[in-house]
């Protein structure tokens, strides 16, 4: 079995594959102060909760945008499963063509997401990742990574708003009944949900105008994707496990 781990700034997502079958998906809050042993304890709990033996895991692969905890989690994987994990870095084969100015700066999460999109969806493709940051990147008809936009994520934006504005509270992210709010929470929810949906629609138009063609597929992933994309005018596919599938694909390329 293959353990896939995506380490993000907010969450760590883990998926266990038995061949093509995804046996379980679990998520941990990203905590930079945790030790190797604490992460190992969490891993053991995940296997136990799913009635699986960690020693039956034969391989592992990790992508990370939080370098300060990457090796601790890798060591926890080794401790609990006996597997030495592979990492998404400059030394691993991805077959992804990157047309940015400095290809080495491309984040592991976008590399993995791009690989998954190329294998699963018609090209050219736009991928939207609504997590700690809101990221949108374009793949052309040949599967070349063309570039991206990065903005503050919905959670970061709302946290900043409530912490910097004395009379604005922390809120749950859900769509209000009306765009034009008539009380504070509804007004904030409208800005967060409908405002982000409009940004996605508008940025998609700008991508296509700049590239000179229409995307054949638009795909969204990330923790905030599901409640947002239903309010976009574009037809957007929700793919919750996109990064895990990209990790599995990259592992198979490097067997």
Shared-domain flag, residues 112 and 229: yes
Does residue 111 fall inside a structural domain?
yes
The Cα 134–Cα 179 span in angstroms is: 21
Does residue 145 fall inside a structural domain?
yes
Does residue 252 fall inside a structural domain?
no
Name the DSSP letter for residue 101. Answer: S
Does residue 92 fall inside a structural domain?
no
Please say which residue of 55, 87, 119 terminates a domain: 87
Shared-domain flag, residues 104 and 67: no
**Strand, helix or coil at 150?**
strand
Range 169-182 average pLDDT: 89
Catalogue the long-range contacts made by 41-48 (C-beta closer than 8 Å, 24 or more residues apart).
42/76, 43/14, 43/76, 43/77, 43/80, 43/81, 44/80, 46/14, 47/80
Range of the structural domain that residue 129 is part of: 97-246
The distance from CA 205 to its chain's CA centroid, rounded to whole angstroms, is 22
The CATH number of residue 30's host domain is: 3.30.420.40
- pLDDT class for 171, splitting at 50, 70, 90? confident
Shared-domain flag, residues 110 and 234: yes
Please say which residue of 59, 87, 115 terminates a domain: 87
pLDDT in tens, 195-211: 999 999 999 999 999 99
CA-closest candidate to residue 130, choices 186, 188, 173:
173
The Cα 19–Cα 36 span in angstroms is: 28
Q: Which are the catalytic amino acids?
A: 109
Shared-domain flag, residues 115 and 235: yes
The Cα 1–Cα 46 span in angstroms is: 15
Shared-domain flag, residues 157 and 219: yes
pTM metric for this prediction: 0.92
Please say which residue of 64, 87, 110 terminates a domain: 87
Percent of the chain with pLDDT strictly greater than 90: 90
pLDDT of res. 166: 78
Residue 168 above 90 pLDDT? no
Name the DSSP letter for residue 191. Answer: I
């Amino acid at each position: 079995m293959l353990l896939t781990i995506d380490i993000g700034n907010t969450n760590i997502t883990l998926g266990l594959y038995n061949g093509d079958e995804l046996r379980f998906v679990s998520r941990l809050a990203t905590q930079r102060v945790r030790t190797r042993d604490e992460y190992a304890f969490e891993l053991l709990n995940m296997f136990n909760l799913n009635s699986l033996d960690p020693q039956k895991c034969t391989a592992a692969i990790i992508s990370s945008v939080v370098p300060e905890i990457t090796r601790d989690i890798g060591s926890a994987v080794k401790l609990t499963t006996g597997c030495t994990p592979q990492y998404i870095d400059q030394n691993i084969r991805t077959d992804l063509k990157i047309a940015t100015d400095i290809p080495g700066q491309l984040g592991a999460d976008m590399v993995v997401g791009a690989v998954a999109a190329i294998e699963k969806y018609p090209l050219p493709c736009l991928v939207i990742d609504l997590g700690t940051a809101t990221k949108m990147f374009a793949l052309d008809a040949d599967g070349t990574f063309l570039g991206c936009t990065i903005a503050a994520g919905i959670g970061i934006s709302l946290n900043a708003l409530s912490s910097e504005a004395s009379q604005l509270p922390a809120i749950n992210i859900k769509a209000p009944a009306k765009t034009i709010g008539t009380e504070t929470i509804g007004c904030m929810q409208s800005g967060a949900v409908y405002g982000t949906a409009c940004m996605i629609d508008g940025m998609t138009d700008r991508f296509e105008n700049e590239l000179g063609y229409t995307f054949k597929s638009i795909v969204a992933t990330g923790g905030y994707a599901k409640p947002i994309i239903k309010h976009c005018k574009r037809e957007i596919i929700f793919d919750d496990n996109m990064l895990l599938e990209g990790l599995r694909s990259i592992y198979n390329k490097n067997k």
